[in-house]
Chain A
Amino acid sequence: TQLLEQSPQFLSIQEGENLTVYCNSSSVFSSLQWYRQEPGEGPVLLVTVVTGGEVKKLKRLTFQFGDARKDSSLHITAAQPGDTGLYLCAGSSGGYQKVTFGIGTKLQVIP
C-alpha cells in the first residue's frame, strides 16, 4: 500500500508570511499532483510534477518534486487569505496510474 504523509496537518499564519508544506512517501511515484480544496467543494488541480528535482511555479506558489520522486513540497510566498484551504498531494503509479491521496494540510491565512 502506498502512503503519502503530509505535514503539517494544520497551519495558521498571518497574511504576508511564507510557508512550506511537505508530502512524503517511501514509494516512488511516476507523477505527483497538488490540489487545493475548499469546504464543501471538490479538489482543484494546481500542478503536476513528473521529473525528479523538477520545480514549477504558479504565481506565489512553488512546487518541487524530490530527486528520487518520493517526496514533494509546496512553498507559498506572501500568503493571502484567498490561499486558505486544504492542500492535498496525490501520487500516481501503476498500470492505470492509480492515485493515492495524502491526508492534506489545512491552511488558514488570517488577514
Chain B
Amino acid sequence: DTGVSQDPRHKITKRGQNVTFRCDPISEHNRLYWYRQTLGQGPEFLTYFQNEAQLEKSRLLSDRFSAERPKGSFSTLEIQRTEQGDSAMYLCASSLNTRYNEQFFGPGTRLTVL
C-alpha cells in the first residue's frame, strides 16, 4: 500500500500524559500536513511542512503541541500534558508541490483523553 499511513489508529490516554503520533506520507510527496477533526466538524489545519521545514503553525497549536519532520520523510506529532479537550481525530495528509496542492489523507489517529 503506497498511501499515507498513520500510527497508531487509536490511542486512549489519561489526562496529563504525553502522546506521540506518527505519519508516513506518500514517498514522493514533499508537503505534509497535520489536521485535527472533532465530531461534526471538518478538518482544522494544525501545521504544515515542506520537506523538513515547518512553514506554518495554526494558532490552534498550543505550546503543548509539537511536530517534527526530521528527514523530510515521516513526521511525528507530540502532545504533552494531554487534556480532555485534545480528544479528536488527528489526520495527516501529504501532497506534491504542484499548483493545485491535492492532498491525500491517512486514516487518522483517534485520540481519547480520559
A contact set with B: CB distance below 8 Å:
4, 30-31, 33, 35, 40-45, 48, 50, 88, 90, 92, 96-104
Q: Would B100 and A31 count as touching, CB distance under 8 A?
A: yes
Across-interface contacts of A104 in B (CB, < 8 A): 41-42
| Cβ < 8 Å to A, chain B residues 13-41 | 31, 33, 35, 40-41
Known A96-B48, A96-B50, A98-B48; contact A42-B100, beta-carbon cutoff 8 A: no
Q: Would A42 and B108 count as touching, CB distance under 8 A?
A: yes
Q: Would A42 and B56 count as touching, CB distance under 8 A?
A: no
Among A33, A44, A98, point to the contact of B45 (Cβ < 8 A): A98
Known: A41-B107, A42-B93, A88-B42. 20 other contacts (CB 8 A): A31-B101, A33-B102, A35-B105, A40-B107, A40-B110, A42-B4, A42-B107, A43-B105, A45-B102, A45-B103, A45-B105, A48-B102, A96-B48, A96-B55, A96-B101, A97-B99, A98-B45, A98-B56, A100-B45, A101-B44
In the complex, the chain B residue whose C-beta lies closest to that of A92 is B101
Which 10 residue pairs of A and B lie closest in terms of their CB atoms, listed nearest first? Answer: A97-B101, A42-B105, A101-B42, A31-B100, A42-B108, A101-B43, A43-B105, A103-B42, A42-B107, A92-B101
B contact set with A: CB distance below 8 Å:
4, 6, 31, 33, 35, 40-45, 48, 50, 55-56, 91, 93, 99-108, 110
Across-interface contacts of B42 in A (CB, < 8 A): 4, 88, 90, 101-104
Question: For the complex, what is the distance from the CA of A48 to the CA of B95, rounded to whole Å?
Answer: 13
Question: For the complex, what is the distance from the CA of A47 to the CA of B14, rounded to whole Å?
Answer: 39
Question: For the complex, what is the distance from the CA of A102 to the CA of B43, rounded to whole Å?
Answer: 8
In the complex, the chain A residue whose C-beta lies closest to that of B41 is A103
Question: For the complex, what is the distance from the CA of A81 to the CA of B111, rounded to whole Å?
Answer: 29
Question: For the complex, what is the distance from the CA of A31 to the CA of B99, rounded to whole Å?
Answer: 9
